[in-house]
Amino acid sequence: MHKIMTTIFRREILAALLFLSPVFCRAETKPDPRPNILYCLADDWSWPHAGVYGDPVVKTPAFDRVAREGALFSHTFSAAPSCSPSRAAMLTGQAPHRLLDGANLWGTLDRKYPVYPNILEKSGYFVGFVRKGWAPGNFLAGGRTRNPAGPNLGEFKKFLAQVPKGKPFCFWFGSHQPHRPYKDGEGKAAGLDPSKVVVPPLWPDTPEVRSDILDYYANVQRFDRDVNEMLQLLEAKGMLDNTIVVMSGDNGWSFPRGKANLYDAGTRQPLAVRWPGKIKAGQKFDDFILLTDLAPTFLEVAGLKPLPEMTGHSFLGLVTGKEKPGQRNTVFVERERHANVREGDLGYPSRAIRTREFLYIRNYAPDRWPAGDPKRWVSVGPYGDIDDGPTKEYMMKHRDDSDVINLFKLGFEKRPPEELYEIKTDPNELTNVVEVPKFAEAKKKLSRALDKYMKDTADPRANGGDGGFDKMQYYGIEPKN
């Protein structure tokens, strides 16, 4: 009797499990409804070099599409005009000066600073990156086992094939374009017209400079083509409309007074965001966005809260209509050591505040060469914070010519402790008005605002310290010649 009852009991348990198993399976395989996140990052791409911004030469159909079908921003800035610290700020949502070695090019990013790909991964996202993630630098020295941008799982098509069914993905596409070096003449070979180039008054208008800009444009177009292929792939798979697509650059273009400088040519970036059903198509925003805002934005997109230590602020509410436009009118940008180009491995520490009306810069070591020592120290060459290229070479060779001498001083020579530029009358930031009496009150207010921001964000330089940034290891050592 006992044996019969036991058999019946077992059959009932088995029947119950068979009845419930579809329920358990459905729970396990239910798709995660959160959107995919695709971040497409160009290397050394400046505003306003895209067709949708009105550039008369460069063709950027992918960026233009993302802007047309989503939102376009006209005042976006990188936290630092240098690859490693700019990317560190994007990944952590924190100002570079809070990241110690992360504030320097060729430094490290300590594992104690959480990065959004890791946070999203823990919440159920499948993450990956390809080409240039957080770089250049040594992430192993910071105690990490993989790049802060995630695991490198191959090009986008290969990555998509690995995404588990029902899981959302977060992918970082880090292009190497339009970083130098360029192939001389590739812009003309691509059919771009040098006569249509608008040469900024930062450099002399010569055939050499126009050709250099064309070559830069050709590399911007290569980045855009790569993104277009990814958009088409997502569209073919029916995944595009459940993906938030963000396109931007990490810092300004690599020309004198551009990259590695706190002027707009070094910090102002293109930005477009597409997310159908959530972001109304055709929106244009004049609000100030700092790329440090990306990490908290991506977390909010995924239904997570930004971390308390993040100094960036999500702009999801802005693009979805929950935040009133026009409230974001100020950004703070900074730099420490870019390349190792000064005797003693010294950087060029600066902090700045950018508003609609002004750019105010504070240079903490005005006795140093802002573009690097005139003679090579460790990296690049003379004035090594300016990447080598035809425009730099032309200006160095013709530095005493009447049409170059003043531009050479602006791009290469030493600068005062403070700089102030009035944006409306001087959009290229060429005339320092810091000593002009009528701007004294504006300078005072900007200086106070910068002091407050530095104090509020625990900047090591807020109280006169040096933060030890010059003593931090430079992992990109090259042999001295």
Sequence spans of domains, the chain: 32-323, 334-471
Other CB atoms within a 10 A radius of the CB of residue 212 amount to: 25
Identify whether the C-beta of residue 338 lies closer than 8 Å to the C-beta of residue 82: yes
Instruction: Return the DSSP state at 47.
Output: T
Calpha distance 104→293 (Å, rounded):
20
Calpha distance 251→385 (Å, rounded):
13
Instruction: Using pLDDT thresholds of 50, 70 and 90, give the confidence band for residue 363.
Output: very high
Calpha distance 171→156 (Å, rounded):
8
Whether the predicted pLDDT of 7 surpasses 50: no
Instruction: Return the DSSP state at 35.
Output: P
Q: What is the average pLDDT across 98-102? A: 97
Buried-exposed string 343-362: b where 16+ CB fall within 10 A, e elsewhere: eebbbbbbbbbbbeebbbbb
CATH tag for 32-323 (out of 3.40.720.10, 2.40.30.10, 3.40.50.880, 3.40.50.720) = 3.40.720.10
pLDDT at 22: 41
pLDDT at 9: 44
List the structure tokens of 124.
């159920």
Four-point Cα dihedral 419, 254, 288, 330, nearest 10: -20
Per-residue pLDDT tens digits for 136-165: 999 999 999 999 999 999 999 999 999 999
**DSSP letters spanning 235-256:** HHTT-GGGEEEEEEESS--SST
- Between CA 27 and CA 34, with CA 32 as vertex, the angle to 5 degrees is 155
User: Can you tell me whether residue 13 is helix, strand or coil?
Assistant: helix
**DSSP letters spanning 296-362:** HHHHHHTT-PPPTT------HHHHTTSS-TT---EEEEEE---SS-STTT----EEEEEESSEEEEE
pLDDT at 163: 98
Q: What is the average pLDDT across 248-261? A: 98
Q: What is the average pLDDT across 284-298? A: 98
Calpha distance 150→171 (Å, rounded):
8
pLDDT at 72: 98
Calpha distance 211→217 (Å, rounded):
10
Q: Quick one: how far is CA 261 from the chain centroid?
A: 14
Instruction: Using pLDDT thresholds of 50, 70 and 90, give the confidence band for residue 284.
Output: very high
Q: Where do we find the tokens 């700092």?
A: 290
Average pLDDT of every residue of the chain: 94
Calpha distance 451→444 (Å, rounded):
11
Sign of CA dihedral 440, 444, 446, 451: positive
Beta-strand pair 126-131/169-174: parallel
Nearest to 143 by CA among 183, 115, 174, 173: 115
Which of 26-30, 277-281, 307-311, 407-411 has the weakest average pLDDT? 26-30
Q: Where do we find the tokens 């936290």?
A: 79
pLDDT at 478: 53
Identify whether the C-beta of residue 147 lies closer than 8 Å to the C-beta of residue 134: yes
Identify whether the C-beta of residue 314 lies closer than 8 Å to the C-beta of residue 299: yes
Q: Which backbone phi and psi does 264 adopt, to 5 degrees?
A: -55, -35
